[in-house]
Structure 1
């Protein structure tokens, strides 16, 4: 099966190269004498761009007219094409204007996405804070019911992952779709304040999962369409570090609210305040965040071209609202996709336990509920340091797998400490300082999840394939998180030995999976290099530069594109 796939991809690439070479041969010879590609982008083949086809050569008959992505139409059909290409060239050749363009991208994308990720993580984990603020008692929870409402969030998250991704693709309005979902889940979260029973909370947690399901995969799509591969790890770390900031903010706010005296219970105030803040953020995203480089209203046309040329070498394109069945099939038959999904699940199982039970675990280590809320702040701070540092290193070293494994090791050590430093008979903590250290280290796995998102953004080509892979990965994340909530059994309180052991076993297994995934990506890079040599394409030569530019916006799956380079 693997050999057949490789052969098909090679054959298709040869046909595609032959076809586009015949078009290139009509390009004026003067285009071959211009300077080589610069690091940020080259406009020397803008003449060749003028003859780009409006649809991909490999589009299947059931894909309608969805060959190339929206960037292809913009680059080839713009009435002032030569003028804006010339202006974009000047921007990219000058260090100051190129840096200004990157800053403009960052300021238009990063602040809003940081807010979204901050609230998305805070909102789903409000249940952890309120669990020690009296919510369980006021809603009359018994036995495994707390575990069950934690699980219901991930269950609905899982079920709606595919529908929400394909709906977002079809609408082709990423920011508007995300903004509406954020406002809806903020409303649902605020309604938690009115819950008086387990049944009401169960319904609300289910709806919360439905509306939050769109965020992580859309984040990956947005980063892939705006940033170069070597910039993606650091940018995703900016967004994902907000999970850690959430723990600092959420813990301190919950600690402060716990002292409020009034007719309304403190946990109800917490839900209401966070829910209303989320609604306001959703409105800002729908109004202000650009949907894609082509649809960015605050960017001039020349700036849009410059943005597109910067990300051309990613070979992953921007957006295409047509669902390509061949790319969906490619996603389901690519072994790397299933390795990514398995890695997501293995990280998610500990996450489902740690995220929902960290505050409860701190109370079993000998800390009061208020102290547990306060101690969430240093846990988040240390996790944030891991995320920012290792996200930067993954870009600088161009190595996602090694960095991801390094992120898992502190949490593995924390799992061992929590397992062995509690008396198995009485649950009495044997070393309170070391158990606190274990709690502080337990959040490092979050950085591995962040690196895995960047790895997926860098190594998947084709919009329909990216959407499918993102949905599959988030389904596995949800499934793992559901399982994780059930590893901490009420019958094992206060020891929770099964939950602690699952942290160690799952993350050790994930280290093995990441090594295999690295090997697969290296193997595909060697295969593509071999195919390019067989086609007579010289690495770094004029022909390769032309072909790279030509197929960049054809919306090809990565396995169909021999110019795609995988990140290790």
Structure 2
């Protein structure tokens, strides 16, 4: 595969590898990797990347969504969160989260292992000191800074994963990453149930914040030492494996060479000019109206059914998220297998809409609790939208722009979602259920519209006989100057 001399400068070495690879392709001397060889490299990447981002995201979601568990663990006895104060604790988090979405570009601008470790320490510290809050104002300040810190982390990870995987396989990897949220909500409820039994000088809700916040600081160390910045700096890959990886990553999308860190703002702006970029954002908005409220209110909704205590409700909020975890993994894998996104986004949203409608139209405990198992399916649409957004933008910086649009529009959803279940609506919360159902149906319709739009554009490229480069990179002085048209995944 070539005699590549190792040098002290990894970026220069990486650029040399690509130059050799492209030259060999032009000369016909390049031996393309076999499917088994690609699978071997992908498995190596999976073992290094997926467990770490999965654990990190599960901790992030646990630290953001444990407010509902803390409320039932006695927080309302020590801090006045009556009236709309509790809802505002959820709202202030998402205000900060929305205003800070632009920070996801940090995953492209700075070495990812440094940027990630910093953000993890930031949110772990804020999450832990919530245990020291003695007033509603103090807790509001903590939730604001927690929103800033988590906006720097979660929205950027899907962009980061696209640096390492081919576009047709990134859906499952995004699914594994995002399923960390489902697991966090599952064991968060079970953990809260156990912590609620603790009797001591420190209130259980304070112990909850400490137990769920402090481990994050430890995991930040692993992020610093084990998260690779790029394929070129992945020390667990040899030279041939790096070339195999960059070969499949550059398939039907452009790979930045010589400037792995650094944003190309012209390409970011191209994402903003593409009207298709708005539709994933609107779908993400609908998903978040429906889903963002669930971790905060599912324990309360279950407790208001009249058959369970508040402590039991914390425990019973876990099983729906276990099912959600399984559904996310299965549907994302199927989406990669069939190489389509829209139909799976729509299917998950329709199932979720059925769940909300059942909850809105029944009074008895059994169907209402069973409907929660369906409602959480909307989270699968979130995972698929992350992959779909990546598949709609061929370059790394443009994907950064696409994710910024997705997250900024989409994260406005929780501002509505965290306020559609007011205490005045208990015990059935009809208004919130109907609003959530309507949002799920909107997601399904928009997924159909975007799928048809992309199919039309792909057929137009077919009619024009547009040929895509098998290996698309920007190297040397011409970086950012070439325009390559790509068929998109629908």
TM-score normalised according to structure 1 size? 0.79
Q: Which of 1 and 2 has greater Rg?
A: 1
Equivalent positions of 1:226-241 (< 5 A) are: 226-241=164-179
Give unpaired runs (5+ residues) of structure 2.
Answer: 3-8
Matched, 1:181 2:119: yes
Give the match for residue 349 of structure 1. Answer: 289
- Residue 338 of structure 1: CA displacement? 0.5
- Residue 82 of structure 1: CA displacement? 7.0
Aligned partner of residue 507 in structure 1, secondary structure: helix
Inter-partner Cα distance in structure 2 for 1:226 and 1:306? 11
Matched, 1:446 2:379: yes
Aligned partner of residue 143 in structure 2, secondary structure: helix
Equivalent positions of 1:547-566 (< 5 A) are: 547-551=469-473, 560-562=483-485, 564-566=486-488
Distance change in 2, residues 1:71/1:365 (3 Å): farther
Give the match for residue 227 of structure 2. Answer: 289
Does structure 1 retain, via aligned residues, the 8 Å contact 2:359–2:368? yes
Does structure 1 retain, via aligned residues, the 8 Å contact 2:346–2:445? no
Does structure 1 retain, via aligned residues, the 8 Å contact 2:230–2:260? no
- Residue 85 of structure 1: CA displacement? 7.5
Matched, 1:390 2:323: no
Give the match for residue 160 of structure 1. Answer: 100
Distance change in 2, residues 1:134/1:85 (3 Å): farther
Does structure 1 retain, via aligned residues, the 8 Å contact 2:79–2:134? yes
Does structure 2 retain, via aligned residues, the 8 Å contact 1:174–1:218? no
Inter-partner Cα distance in structure 1 for 2:178 and 2:21? 39
Aligned pair partner of 2:205 in 267, 278, 303: 267
Distance change in 2, residues 1:285/1:551 (3 Å): closer
Give the match for residue 42 of structure 2. Answer: 102
Inter-partner Cα distance in structure 2 for 1:80 and 1:472? 34
- Residue 380 of structure 1: CA displacement? 1.1
Aligned pair partner of 1:494 in 421, 427, 448: 427
Matched, 1:312 2:250: yes
Distance change in 2, residues 1:503/1:165 (3 Å): same
Equivalent positions of 1:132-281 (< 5 A) are: 132-162=72-102, 164-171=103-110, 173-281=111-219
- Residue 74 of structure 1: CA displacement? 4.9
Does structure 1 retain, via aligned residues, the 8 Å contact 2:350–2:444? no
Distance change in 2, residues 1:84/1:300 (3 Å): farther
Give the match for residue 475 of structure 1. Answer: 408
Distance change in 2, residues 1:98/1:236 (3 Å): same
- Residue 297 of structure 1: CA displacement? 2.6
Distance change in 2, residues 1:93/1:494 (3 Å): closer
Inter-partner Cα distance in structure 2 for 1:557 and 1:416? 51
Inter-partner Cα distance in structure 1 for 2:273 and 2:305? 46
198-207 or 101-110, which moves further after superposition? 101-110
Inter-partner Cα distance in structure 2 for 1:506 and 1:447? 15
Give the match for residue 16 of structure 2. Answer: 77
Inter-partner Cα distance in structure 2 for 1:327 and 1:306? 26
Does structure 1 retain, via aligned residues, the 8 Å contact 2:131–2:206? yes
Aligned partner of residue 235 in structure 1, secondary structure: helix
Inter-partner Cα distance in structure 2 for 1:566 and 1:73? 31
- Residue 169 of structure 1: CA displacement? 2.6
Matched, 1:457 2:390: yes
Cα distance per residue 1:465-487 (max 9 Å; x no partner): 21122112111222111111111
Does structure 1 retain, via aligned residues, the 8 Å contact 2:251–2:471? yes
Inter-partner Cα distance in structure 2 for 1:79 and 1:350? 45
Cα distance per residue 1:78-135 (max 9 Å; x no partner): 599479989x96792373x443322211111111011111111111111121121111
Inter-partner Cα distance in structure 2 for 1:387 and 1:190? 29
Give the match for residue 439 of structure 2. Answer: 506
Does structure 1 retain, via aligned residues, the 8 Å contact 2:252–2:472? no
Distance change in 2, residues 1:84/1:283 (3 Å): farther
Aligned partner of residue 549 in structure 1, secondary structure: coil
TM-score normalised according to structure 2 size? 0.91
Aligned partner of residue 232 in structure 2, secondary structure: coil
Aligned pair partner of 1:331 in 261, 271, 281: 271
- Residue 167 of structure 1: CA displacement? 3.5
Aligned partner of residue 132 in structure 1, secondary structure: helix
Inter-partner Cα distance in structure 2 for 1:91 and 1:334? 34
508-517 or 218-227, which moves further after superposition? 218-227
212-221 or 139-148, which moves further after superposition? 212-221
Distance change in 2, residues 1:463/1:286 (3 Å): same
Aligned pair partner of 1:124 in 64, 71, 86: 64
Matched, 1:93 2:16: no
